[in-house]
């Protein structure tokens, strides 16, 4: 569906907010598209109500916009995200003196439903990684790369974008750590274990040199044409692995991040240490993994205790 034409003042504000997200908030291109899509939806609704400039926006406009989407069947999590986008936008507009009062200060949306993330069982991961090790032993560079990528994703809990952005010199093989540039361009150092170290070394010795070209630069993981591996390629690889595994509903790389966090906590890791490893800005985000572990404990109790 094509975007509706907006009043000039709205188009100007939309472009300005996009520049702010990129220059000051350092949001990724994907995140900026999501914010601007939400904002355009709001401004299209406001225009349909006869508004042509930002000072005309009021709390009723925002509530009407969210209400219309709720009636259309939009999920609570999407409504919560769009409400947050609206508040970020009006905060920015007030700071830029495009509006004299912030109309979204009292805006509230339904709390997003908190679903427990999908987690692979340790034995499933052992089976998956053993199969990848066997495939890598055949010598083709792509299976060697895939094994290294999955080992790193599970060992470190990296986001797929962080994995794709790794350079060779981000590795510290002696300390078995890697430097990551995460959300908001924040840098962190993440440890990894011996299996990941072995897989990375294998990739650097007999995988990467076969794919590297003059265009490869310092990228750690390469696509089949020698360029930096694309996030979509990583997702496709992991999706295929999970489908082949057969006994999991997990579908993408984020399941490896969920699994890493949950298994760390199950093994007794400190919550704040897991927060640092994952690069969460808020401890509350990390705490969802404690719910996963408690839920697993509850299921085990119900299955095993005679009076559960």
Helices (H), 157-245: 160-164, 194-206, 208-211, 231-245
Asked about 258 being catalytic, the answer comes back as no
Please tell me which residue in 159, 208, 228, 263 is annotated as part of the active site. 159
Clarify whether 159 is annotated catalytic: yes
| Active-site annotation holder among 176, 235, 254, 296 | 254
Examine the residue annotation and report whether 280 is marked as an active-site residue of this protein: yes
Active site residue 289: yes
CA distance 256 to 119: 7
| 18-31-171 Cα angle (round to 5) | 120
Active site residue 12: no
Partners of residue 228 on adjacent β-strands: 222
117 within 8 A of 292, measured Cβ to Cβ: yes
Catalytic residue among 27, 145, 263, 280: 280
From 183, 235, 239, 296, active-site residue? 183
List the strands of the sheet with 187-191, edge to edge: 171-172, 177-181, 187-191
232: burial class by Cβ within 10 Å (0-12, 13-18, 19+)? exposed
**Is 35 in the active site?**
no
Q: Which residues are known to be catalytic?
A: 159, 183, 254, 257, 280, 289
């Amino acid at each position: 569906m094509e975007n509706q034409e907006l009043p000039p003042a709205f188009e100007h504000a939309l472009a300005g907010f996009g520049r702010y997200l990129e220059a000051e908030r350092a949001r990724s291109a994907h995140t900026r598209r999501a914010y601007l899509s939400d904002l355009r939806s709001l401004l299209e609704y406001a225009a349909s109500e006869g508004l042509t400039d930002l000072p005309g926006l009021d709390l009723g406009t925002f509530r009407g916009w969210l209400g219309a989407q709720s009636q259309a069947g939009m999920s609570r999590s999407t409504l919560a995200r769009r409400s947050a986008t609206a508040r970020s936008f009006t905060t920015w507009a007030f700071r830029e003196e495009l509006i004299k009062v912030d109309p979204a200060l009292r805006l509230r949306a339904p709390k997003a439903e908190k679903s427990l993330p999908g987690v692979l069982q340790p034995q499933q991961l052992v089976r998956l990684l053993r199969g990848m090790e066997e495939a890598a032993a055949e010598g083709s560079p792509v299976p060697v790369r895939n094994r290294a990528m999955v080992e790193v994703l599970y060992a470190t809990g990296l986001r797929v974008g962080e994995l794709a952005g790794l350079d060779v010199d981000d590795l510290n093989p002696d300390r078995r750590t890697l430097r990551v540039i995460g959300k908001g361009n924040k840098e962190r150092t993440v440890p990894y274990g011996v299996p990941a170290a072995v897989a990375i070394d294998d990739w650097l010795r007999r995988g990467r040199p076969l794919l590297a070209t003059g265009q490869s630069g310092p990228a750690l993981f390469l696509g089949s044409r020698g360029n930096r591996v694309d996030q979509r390629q990583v997702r496709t690889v992991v999706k295929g692995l999970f489908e082949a595994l057969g006994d999991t509903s997990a579908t993408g790389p984020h399941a490896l991040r969920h699994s890493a966090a949950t298994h760390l906590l199950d093994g007794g890791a400190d919550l704040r240490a897991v927060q640092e490893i994952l690069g969460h800005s808020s401890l509350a985000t990390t705490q969802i993994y404690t719910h996963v572990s408690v839920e697993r404990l509850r299921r085990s109790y119900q299955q095993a205790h005679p009076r559960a």
